[in-house]
Amino acid sequence: MKYKSFTKLLLLAFGLVFMLASCTKEGPMGPAGADGADGADGTDGTDGVDGNLSCLVCHSAETMDAITTAFEMHAHNEGGSWGRGTSASCGRCHSSDGFVEFARSGEEIGAAVSTPLTCKTCHVNHSSLEDDIPAPVRELGVVEFIAVPGTDWDYEAGNLCATCHQARRPHTDYYSSEATTATRTFTGDDIAVYQAHGAVGPNGTKTLNATEDTLTVVFDVPTTHVYTNSTHAGPHHGPQANIIAANIGTQMGTPFEQAHHQCVNCHMHGEDGASGHSFEADLNMCNECHGDLVDVEGEQDAIAARMAAVEAALEDLGAIHVAEDGVHPMYASLPKAQWDAFWNFMCLWEDKSHGVHNFGYASQLLNQAENALGIE
């Protein structure tokens, strides 16, 4: 009996729940209301620049082909220096990826695969497409000189150039306050070179073995001398920014006046873009400001003649070897003044401007070299 009563109560409760659910069911939607008033129209935007009138000023097929052709013929793109780009200490200047990363974060990396520079190495995307669109260049802050800690370079777009076109080491890296000796062996063509011109120091020796295929040289380096310990000795390639700043020779000098002597003003000239991307300086631009007051080519010729005399004297000393492909430092122990002459010459030779980057400083460094080498 109790079981039947419980079952009846359960059925009754279920029925009540079903009835309540049915009673609360939502009814059909009513008719739609009247439309509201339209909002106010927005302000018309400004018409953009016609791409054919702005983009094609630079990005026409003719212009871009000319730029590409000029750029591909320059050392920024050709040559074998890109093999050094996988080294972390070299990558910022010897690979496109390494340079982009250094410009972005200041970190020096070795590229996984080193490639030459491309347009995107130095250029970034346009921030806008309005009138007077400039060529967007990567922005770099103040560039600290690697070889002269505590000094820097800050010349707008020239910062991009000075990031790499600067010395990698100072002359003081080669100085030593202790006497020493160094022994090296030479074979092949180097035997004749070091027999004829090797600077071995006051008590150095040269010994050719019995079969005459190996020359052993002992370089004596007293405290009065400086030892050139590498055939790559010098400020490294491209110390142009240091020559302009007058801070890489064995003597400090007067910086070149920079107000209108920006790197791009001379090396990125031309309306067609192609002449600028050859990076060949147009010396005629000097006349626009200086007129006939400065004979640039005449001064360059004078510096070149002085450099040639210093070069010959340094080769006679055994400080350098001159070959068809250029000047090569030699292992050598030289009196300090003569070694300083070698260093100053290498700074100017690597600059490759024949003084135009800073005529006053070039003359100052040559004065020291000429005095040390006895050149009248």
pLDDT at 4: 54
Number of domains in the chain: 2
Nearest to 273 by CA among 70, 7, 37: 70
Q: Is the pLDDT of residue 242 over 70?
A: yes
Q: What is the pLDDT of residue 293?
A: 75
Supply the angle between the helices 296-317 and 336-351 in degrees, to the nearest 10: 140
pLDDT in tens, 64-90: 888 888 888 888 888 788 888 999 999
Query: What integer pLDDT is reported at residue 39 of this predicted model?
Result: 83
Look at residue 12 and tell me whether its pLDDT is greater than 50.
Answer: yes
pLDDT score recorded for residue 125? 85
- Is 28 inside a domain boundary? no
- Residues 180, 106 share a domain: no
End residue of a domain, out of 138, 153, 182: 138
Segment 32-44 shows an average pLDDT of: 83
Q: Is 257 part of a structural domain of the chain?
A: yes
318 and 259 in a single domain? The answer is yes
Mean pLDDT, the chain, integer? 87
Q: Of 115, 138, 161, at which residue does a domain stop? A: 138
The answer as to whether 4 is a domain residue is no
Give the pLDDT of residue 227. 98
Does residue 295 surpass a pLDDT of 70? yes
Residue 181 placed within a domain: yes
Q: Is residue 207 located within the same domain as residue 322?
A: yes
Rounded average pLDDT over 84-105: 92
Q: To which residue do tokens 């991307």 refer? A: 277
Query: Do 116 and 202 belong to one domain?
Result: no
More confident residue, 376 or 172: 172
List, for residues 187-213, the tens digit of each pLDDT value: 999 999 999 999 999 999 999 999 999
56/27: higher pLDDT: 56
Question: Do 133 and 183 have their domain in common?
Answer: no
* pLDDT band, very low/low/confident/very high, at 13 (cuts 50, 70, 90): low
> Does pTM top 0.85 for this prediction?
no
Mean pLDDT of 136-153: 90
Do 333 and 267 belong together in one domain?
Answer: yes
- Is pLDDT above 70 for 268? yes
Same domain, yes or no: 270 and 178? yes
pLDDT at 300 exceeding the cut of 90: yes
The whole domain housing 100 covers: 51-138
Same-domain status, 220 and 343: yes
Residue 277, pLDDT score: 87
Query: Does 157 reside within a domain?
Result: no
* Least confident range of 29-33, 83-87, 297-301: 29-33
Same domain, 129 and 223: no
Q: What are phi and psi of 239, to 5 degrees?
A: -90, 35
Lowest mean pLDDT among 54-58, 104-108, 306-310: 54-58
At 229 the pLDDT is 97
pLDDT tens profile 328-349: 999 999 999 999 999 999 999 9
Q: Would residue 129 count as lying in a domain?
A: yes
- pLDDT score for 21: 52
Q: What percent of the chain has pLDDT over 90?
A: 55
Residues 118 and 239 in one domain: no
Domain shared by 116 and 216, yes or no? no
Q: Is residue 112 part of a domain?
A: yes
3-7, 89-93, 176-180 — which is least confidently predicted? Answer: 3-7
Look at residue 112 and tell me whether its pLDDT is greater than 70. yes
Res 2: pLDDT: 47
Q: Is residue 130 part of a domain?
A: yes
Residues 185 and 92 in one domain: no
What secondary structure, in 3-state letters, does the chain show? CHHHHHHHHHHHHHHHHHHHHHHCCCCCCCCCCCCCCCCCCCCCCCCCCCHHHHHHHHHCHHHHHHHHHHHHCCCCCCCCHHHHHHCCCCHHHHCHHHHHHHHHHCCCCCCCCCCCCCHHHHECCCCCCCCCCCCCECCCCCEECCCCCCCEECCCCHHHHHCCCCCCCCHHHHCCCCCEEEEEEECCCHHHHHHHHCCECCCCEEEECCCCCCEEEEEEECCCEEEECCCCCCCCCCCHHHHHHCCCCCCCCCCCCCCCCCHHHHHCCCCCCCCHHHCCCCCHHHHHHHCCCCCHHHHHHHHHHHHHHHHHHHHHHCCEEEECCEEEECCEEEEHHHHHHHHHHHHHHHHCCCCCCCHHHHHHHHHHHHHHHCCC
